[in-house]
Amino acid sequence: MHRNRLLGRLRHEVVQVLEWTEAGPADVVLGVAGEGRLAGCALWPGDEGAAALVQAGFERLRDRRNMERLHEVGRALASEQDLDRLLELILSQGRDLLQAEAGSIYLVLDGAEGKELLFAHTQNAKVQLPYHRSRVPVSVGSMAGFVALTGATLNLPDVYRLPPSAPYQFNATFDHQANYHSTSMLVVPLADTEGQVLGVLQLINRMEGTAGEVCVPFLAEHERLAQSLAGQAGVALKNARLREAIEQLFESFVNASVTAIEQRDPATQGHSRRVATLTEGLARAVNRTDGGPYGGLFFNERQLKEIRYASLLHDFGKVGVREEVLVKSKKLPDARLELLLQRLRQRREETAMARLLEDWAAGVPFDGAAWAALRREQEAEAERLVAALRRSNEPTVLPQDVADELELLAELSCTGADGGRARLLEPADLTALRIRKGSLSERERLEIENHVTHTYHFLSQIPWTPDLASIPGIAYAHHERLNGQGYPRRLTGPEIPVQSKAMAIADIYDALTAEDRPYKAAVPWVRSLDILGQEASDGHVDPELLRVFIEAGVYKTTLQAP
């Protein structure tokens, strides 16, 4: 009998969690002090007293549970770094905590003409309609705008029955489109620790009943709970925004650095971005690989970003290489080659003049036909020597016939600036022209190779976030080879990060297929893959990564359409 009368005095939410027991421990003992579940005793405190005791016990239980849930929510919010996922988490946790059927989140952003509200995310357990992110000026005319401007909380029992004095109105567009009916609504600001409103959380239709079928108003206790959640969410939101701003700063820095590299060496324009595309594509292909040495390897999105940044910046150290070496496409600088060609022409004229003077001194009459024949002979010799000089200056493998003619050039002389005889080619010219392959001397090649060390030292000075901290090391090892014949540290396979091994394949492939190198023709992609295969056979690049590179079609991602 006591139980029946007591149940009639209790709120529905209290009855739902009520549990009777014959003895303690209990949260509430009717008649004596106690802790634990609800228990009865011989001394009945009266209907009102019993109801008050049960209500007090329920509130203690609810507060304890809410505190535990808020702690769980706080930990979840603090661990989420992606802004979009954070917004979804705030909304879902808020709805779950306050038994809301639906909800939305708005972000306060800077617009061209003032603050704006971004409709960022929405959830509804009853109806599903696609939504589009949209921005509107912040105004007190909307509920979210009012809360964003004032920082106040709105607790509305029925949004269709607003107070006449309310400056805001309810926008019923969604209700009409979705055949939905909004009733109770709780709108709270998401503010940071300094009180700046960063967004607005809107919870709609608090549901109660055994199956959650009864829509009821939000109570004052729900306001306090929502405000506690909003406080945690505001801090998490600010942290996520700060992180996003840092990442945008890094992104801008990386793009500016790539631009700086390409402006110093226009011949390789686009190379860094293509290498980044290929390396990241290979890493994603590894993620899809089952079995083999890399079957258990998986790069998450943060690690993929780290790979992309390292690839974009892998050649940044070239800013520390002398420009005349960095952009050197021939063995001799253009100005030096032109001077040597001019000396050859000068020698031709000097030879003709010497012949005329010799005949004049000997009293030989001028013979126009003989003179014309002599000039043709000298022109042909001069052209042959010019052609030999130009061929020697090319960065291709030096043919033997050209090497022989170069030795003949080494013996030639002309009149120097002081009027005496001087070698046509100086020792430094001969050293450069005798380079067997490429355009760089040994000293210049070492200077170019040192760009990797410059890259590492430069990138090591940047305060990367912890998840990007491996960027310097990844870039540092992209010219290392599995057999220890790479540079600058002569690392072997186990010592080279797998990200660097992937970048090495991408770097070689793009260098071969690039069409913008003035000193060589682009190698067809089929031939380029064959060359990479030989590199793998010789122990230079990772054969398993190359297999994935080819079988996954990663190499196709940078091919230009015919």
Mean pLDDT of 328-348: 83
Token pair recorded at residue 311: 């690839």
pLDDT at 459: 94
Check whether domain 80-243 has CATH 1.50.10.10, yes or no: no
Give me the pLDDT at residue 411, please: 77
Phi, psi of 461 (to 5 degrees): -80, -10
Evaluate whether 347 touches 536 at the Cβ level (below 8 Å). Answer: no
Residue 32, pLDDT score: 42
SS3 115: strand
Distance (Å, whole) CA 176 – CA 495:
64
Q: Exposure pattern of 174-193 as b/e (b: 16+ CB <10 Å)?
A: bbeeeebebbbbbbbbbbbe
For the chain, the average pLDDT equals 83
Average pLDDT over residues 182-204: 92
β pairing state of 185-191 and 154-156: antiparallel
Residue whose structure tokens are 């030879």: 351
| Mean pLDDT computed over 452-467 | 91
The pLDDT tens digits of the residues spanning 259-309 come to: 888 887 777 788 999 999 999 999 999 999 988 899 889 999 999 999 999
DSSP-assigned letters across all residues of 232-288: HHHHHHHHHHHHHHHHHHHHHHHHHHHHHHHHH-GGGTTHHHHHHHHHHHHHHHHHT
- The pLDDT-based confidence of 63 (bands split at 50, 70, 90) is low
- Give SS3 for 194: coil
Q: Is the pLDDT of residue 562 over 60?
A: no
Region of 444 please: left (phi>0), alpha (psi -120 to 50) or beta: alpha
DSSP string, 505-532: HHHHHHHHH-S--TTSPPPPHHHHHHHH
Closest by CA position to 547, among listed 558, 561, 532: 532
> What pLDDT was estimated at residue 41?
53
Which of 244-253, 366-375, 377-386 has the largest mean confidence? Answer: 244-253
Whole-angstrom distance, CA of residue 285 vs CA of residue 282: 5
Residue 342's pLDDT band (cuts 50, 70, 90): confident
Integer Cα distance of 86 and 147 in angstroms: 21
Burial class (CB in 10 A: 0-12, 13-18, 19+), 542: buried
SS (H, E, C) 120-153: EEEEECCCCCCCCCEEEECCCCEHHHHHHHHCCC
Task: Identify which has the larger pLDDT, 46 or 214.
Answer: 214
Report the alpha-carbon distance of residue 125 to residue 67 in Å, rounded. Answer: 25
Question: For residues 272 and 544, is the Cβ–Cβ distance under 8 A?
Answer: no
Q: How confident is the model at residue 151 (pLDDT cuts 50, 70, 90)?
A: very high
Quick one: which of 468, 462, 459 has its CA closest to 306?
A: 468
- pLDDT tens string 99-142: 899 999 999 998 888 889 999 999 998 888 777 788 888 999 99
pLDDT at position 4 is: 61
pTM of the model: 0.69
Reply yes or no on whether the pLDDT at 36 is more than 50.
Answer: no
Which of the listed ranges 176-180, 245-249, 403-407, 554-558 does the model predict with the highest average pLDDT?
554-558
Report whether pLDDT(240) > 90: no
- Per-residue confidence at 500, pLDDT binned at 50, 70, 90? very high
Tokens coding 489: 């540290």
Region for residue 42 given its phi and psi (left: phi exceeds 0; alpha: psi -120 to 50; beta: otherwise): alpha
| Average pLDDT value for residue range 506-517 | 86
What is the model's pLDDT at position 370? Answer: 80
Q: Which residue has the higher pLDDT, 256 or 434?
A: 256
**Does residue 211 have a pLDDT over 70?**
no
Phi, psi of 219 (to 5 degrees): -95, 175
CA gyration radius, the chain: 40
Residues 82 and 307: their CA atoms lie apart, in Å, by 18
**Cα 464 to chain center, whole Å?**
13
Total residue length of the chain = 562
Rounded to the nearest 5 degrees, what angle is found at the Cα of 401, between the Cα atoms of 397 and 404? 105
Contact between residue 398 and residue 436 where contact means Cβ atoms under 8 Å apart? yes
CATH for the 265-323+447-558 domain, from 1.10.3210.10, 1.10.287.3510, 2.40.40.20, 3.40.50.300: 1.10.3210.10
20-21 and 38-39: which strand pairing? parallel
Query: For residue 551, what pLDDT is reported?
Result: 94
- pLDDT given at position 481: 95
What is the Cα–Cα distance from 556 to 562, expressed in whole angstroms?
A: 13
Give first-to-last CA distance, the chain, whole Å. Answer: 90
Sign of CA dihedral 56, 61, 62, 66: positive
DSSP 63-82: HHHHHHHHHHHHHHHHH---
pLDDT of residue 30: 52
